[in-house]
Chains A and B, each alone.
Chain A
Amino acid sequence: MLEVMILSFGGQGGVTAARILAIAALNEGKFAQAIPQFGAERRGALVRSYLRISDRPIRRHSSIKDPDVVAIFSEKILGIVDVSAETVVINSKEPKIKGRVYYVDASSIALDLGLISAGWPIVNTAMAGAMARVFGFSIESLKKAIGETFSGKLAELNVKAAEKAYREVKEWNA
């Protein structure tokens, strides 16, 4: 079983990203759980959301304490949280931290496509694209999941964001 923690600021779409990836995991024939931070989520505040992916039914419902993967939706989060995980996926032009790091400039991808809300780039689908690549999901499973989550033009743009990040995410080991 793979356990993932997503660190985002409220409004960046961390909870939605977890949900989309759970649907993508189902499309891959796997079992998944998407768990929002239990409690109040507020715009701008640090939000933790969680994701479990497994080949077998997932029975546990307790919180994830020791994630295998941490996804970081903003570099600024590194100044607030001490991140430790075997694998990190980060929204950044550079790897930023040591270890096995996957990095992608999700903010630019979202801005270029006009995925903006109240002045912020909404990076959830770009980051979902990067994470799907790290988890070994097919891009089709992810596109289908995005199609179920958004409709019309918004679905189209979000699929583009996910595809771009899926292609562009880079691995770095140090």
Chain B
Amino acid sequence: MRKILTGNYAVAEAVKLADVEFIAAYPITPQTTIVERLAEMVERGELNAEFVRVESEHSALAAVYGASAGGLRAFTATSSHGLLYMYEMCWWVANSRLPVVMAVVTRTIGPPWNIHTEHTDILTLRDTGWIIAMSENAQEALDLTLLGFKIAEQVNLPFAIGLDGFQVSHTAEVVDVPESLDGFLPKRERFFVIEPGNPITVGGLTENECSMTIRKEMAKDMERVGELVRNSGYVRDYDLVEEYRMEDAEYVVISMGAWCGDMKDAIDILREKGVQIGMLRLRFVRPFPKEFVEKLDCKVLVVDRNYSVGLGGIIATEVKSIANCDVHGIVAGLGGVDVGVDDFVSMFRKFVRGELKGWWP
């Protein structure tokens, strides 16, 4: 059924459809309306879940950790400073192989205090072992949340869905909400069980080799994610990337998130003027869609809404480590600085002419 929903409400609808059993969260702008909506759903009896209010994000993910280890389908959501505050628990969840799903509404990390979008926050998860997806719009925020539960429970790795703060989280747009999931999401199966009377240890002190084995096994399961996404059986087809007007492209833009919609409009304008340009949009950052980047045979521009001080844009750095062609990186829109269709038209023109520098604006 088609509805007008914000990205945050679309995520809440997905959590409800997934019959999530446990939610713990701490409010932070621009994430707050996800858990506000979920609290309403629980209160009205639309969602049969335990909703635990906690005193911090660290506690939120700790509570979700316990619930997930105990076998429940569990969810949380956060942004920016909240994600950093729960960072230690992010590693506990990943290495304990718990299929937690978390929405990360991307927001600039301060100081100075700033509530607008930037992707540096969600990218702090990149080494943890979480699957990381980034939505372009409210529809994808809903779809990727549902896919998140499916994939996370298939590979026993946690799943983070990114939504650009305000641009997706608070923009109300047309979303097709499935009436039901028709068995898409079966009851969660556990590969270890904690229950009363049968104690096991999770995360205790071990031989060093055990730590290494855990990371190697996580890597193996992470490798399966692409295939599982492509064959998920969801009502809409998904892959780790979206290829837009790539057929005969001499120039390819790589980026992720809400502004990719603006980039597509810019690409259409340039295509009309005869510029052979397309886009490889990263729908997933982990696993990194290596196979799509490796086969590129053209001039590549990576537009990063994040920055690693001392090296450069994070995605550009990763693309350069994989690509077999020329890669130019540009950092843009940090701190939520607005970058729209007109900006991308002139950015891409400069790129084609070989005149583009490293920062925009």
Pair B137/A61 contact, Cβ less than 8 Å:
yes
Pair A38/B173 contact, Cβ less than 8 Å:
no
Q: Which residues of B contact A34 (CB under 8 A)?
A: 4, 171-173
Pair A62/B341 contact, Cβ less than 8 Å:
yes
23 contacts between A and B (CB under 8 A): A22-B4, A22-B173, A23-B4, A26-B2, A34-B172, A35-B170, A35-B171, A36-B166, A38-B170, A39-B115, A58-B173, A58-B261, A59-B136, A59-B137, A59-B261, A59-B262, A59-B265, A60-B262, A61-B168, A61-B171, A61-B262, A62-B262, A62-B340
Chain B: residues with CB nearer than 8 A to chain A?
Answer: 2-4, 115-116, 136-137, 164, 166-168, 170-174, 258-259, 261-262, 264-265, 336, 338-341
Pair A61/B4 contact, Cβ less than 8 Å:
no
Q: Which residues of B contact A137 (CB under 8 A)?
A: none
A-B contact count (CB 8 A): 69
A 31-71 binary contact with B (CB < 8 Å = 1; else 0): 11111101100000000000000000111111101000000
Pair A61/B258 contact, Cβ less than 8 Å:
yes
Expressed in whole angstroms, the minimum distance between the Cβ of A166 and any Cβ of chain B is 20
Q: Which residues of A contact B264 (CB under 8 A)?
A: 59
In angstroms, Cα B338 to Cα A35, docked, is 14
Pair A22/B172 contact, Cβ less than 8 Å:
yes
Known: A26-B2, A34-B4, A39-B115. A60 touches B174 (CB 8 A): no
In angstroms, Cα B12 to Cα A100, docked, is 42
In angstroms, Cα B166 to Cα A23, docked, is 19
In angstroms, Cα B166 to Cα A22, docked, is 17
In angstroms, Cα B343 to Cα A65, docked, is 12
A19 at the interface (CB under 8 A from B): yes
In angstroms, Cα B258 to Cα A26, docked, is 21
Chain A: residues with CB nearer than 8 A to chain B?
Answer: 18-19, 22-23, 26, 31-36, 38-39, 57-63, 65
Pair A19/B262 contact, Cβ less than 8 Å:
no
Q: Which residues of A contact B4 (CB under 8 A)?
A: 19, 22-23, 26, 32, 34
Pair A60/B341 contact, Cβ less than 8 Å:
yes
In angstroms, Cα B338 to Cα A63, docked, is 7
Pair B174/A31 contact, Cβ less than 8 Å:
yes
Indicate which residue in A18, A22, A36, A61 contacts B261 across the interface (CB closer than 8 Å): A61
Q: Which residues of A contact B116 (CB under 8 A)?
A: 38-39
Pair B174/A26 contact, Cβ less than 8 Å:
yes
Pair B340/A63 contact, Cβ less than 8 Å:
yes
In angstroms, Cα B339 to Cα A60, docked, is 10
In angstroms, Cα B3 to Cα A39, docked, is 24
In angstroms, Cα B1 to Cα A26, docked, is 11
Given contacts A22-B4, A38-B170, A61-B171, 13 further A-B contacts (CB under 8 A): A32-B4, A33-B171, A33-B173, A35-B171, A38-B167, A38-B336, A60-B265, A61-B164, A61-B168, A61-B258, A62-B167, A62-B262, A62-B341
